[in-house]
Structure 1
Amino acid sequence: MDATGRIEQIITPSVEAMGYEVVRVQISGGQRSVLQIMAERADGAPMTVEDCADISRSVSALLDVEDPIREAYTLEVSSPGIDRPLTRLKDFERFAGFEARLESRMAIDGRKRFKGMLKGVEHGLVCVDTEQGPARLEFDNILRAKLVLTDELIRASQEQQEGPQN
């Protein structure tokens, strides 16, 4: 298991017990490594600075004990944002109807990059309508995917933050 997988394994139970879901764990290089933990509230409410601080304190304590990263690093906890990465199979279901960019590990019909409207998941395959026609990608073949910032996505995000109108 790589370092990010090990870190995710260490922190996920605690983060979930606090009422959040881990979206992504990523380590980026440089002179001092940055450990980025992206999380969202399990109840779907918008993340606050306090939420990120709570997660940061909890994760820091866990990582101090487990010590999965030997060198010095900076911990960053953030929300996924509007044009969020899609990292879990349920993300592709949840954001069906929105535009996304996907990159596959192995070529599908000679292509590795796909951009189009997410259509959800069918029989474990992520479905996307692209300009070249429909594409179906195995989840394990998706290297990276993220939502595309569109007016529709911004509108939906604003509606979610405002909550139901009475």
Structure 2
Amino acid sequence: MSLSVAKLTALLQPLVTELGFEFVGLEYSSNPKNPVLVLYIDKPEGIAVEDCETVSREAAALLDVEDPIPGHYVLEVSSPGLDRPLFTPEQFERFAGEVAQVSVFAPVSGRRKFKGRILGVDDSEIRIEQDGEAIVLEHGNIAKARLVPDYDQIFAELG
């Protein structure tokens, strides 16, 4: 049975929101030996370990009742971190101007991996700058996307 990320999102997003957190997204690795469900949450002041514990406890209870994942799996609740995953066109729009690393399912211009500044979003099309030119990626073709932190700038600000 193939498990739908959309079904898990529909189940867990309202719970995370009700608990007072932003539902960033989720990743499900259905490796038969070690299935893992990672749930990313955030809030303006950042995420503490206690926040992850709260969401983990509530999400585990809901998942036990609804039982959408057959068999044993590991549930992880995490902040998005500096290399924040991007799941929705709205998240790409929110981080326009930042650098992202994007992998696609079907090659675009002969490539499957892109790294460049997010230029913007038009409906479900994500525009990023790759090697000085604008590339358009269909959101539905994006397998995985993450921000690429500028550590030099981060350390300079902490300096």
Superposition TM-score tier, normalisation by shorter sequence: 0.7 to 0.9
Asked if the contact 2:27–2:37 (Cα under 8 Å) also holds between the matched residues in 1, the reply is yes
Q: Which runs of 4+ in 1 moved over 6 A?
A: 155-158
Unaligned runs of 5+ in 1: 159-166
Choose which of 37, 40, 57 in structure 2 pairs with 1:38: 40
Q: Which amino acid aligns with 2:41?
A: A
Asked if the contact 1:101–1:116 (Cα under 8 Å) also holds between the matched residues in 2, the reply is yes
In the TM superposition, what are the counterparts of 1:16-165 in structure 2 within 5 Å? 16-28=17-29, 29=31, 31-41=33-43, 44-151=44-151, 154=154
Aligned CA distance change for structure 1 residues 156 and 21 (closer, same or farther; 3 Å): farther
Aligned CA distance change for structure 1 residues 14 and 70 (closer, same or farther; 3 Å): same
Deviation for aligned residue 1:25: 2.0
Deviation for aligned residue 1:153: 6.6
Aligned CA distance change for structure 1 residues 2 and 33 (closer, same or farther; 3 Å): closer
Deviation for aligned residue 1:123: 4.4
Asked if the contact 1:39–1:79 (Cα under 8 Å) also holds between the matched residues in 2, the reply is yes
Any idea what SS the aligned residue of 2:6 has?
helix
Count, aligned residues:
156
Any idea what SS the aligned residue of 2:91 has?
helix
* TM-score (normalizing by structure 1): 0.82
Any idea what SS the aligned residue of 2:136 has?
strand
Separation in 1 of the partners of 2:75 and 2:12? Answer: 13
Q: Percent identity?
A: 37
Separation in 2 of the partners of 1:67 and 1:156? Answer: 47
Separation in 2 of the partners of 1:6 and 1:26? Answer: 12
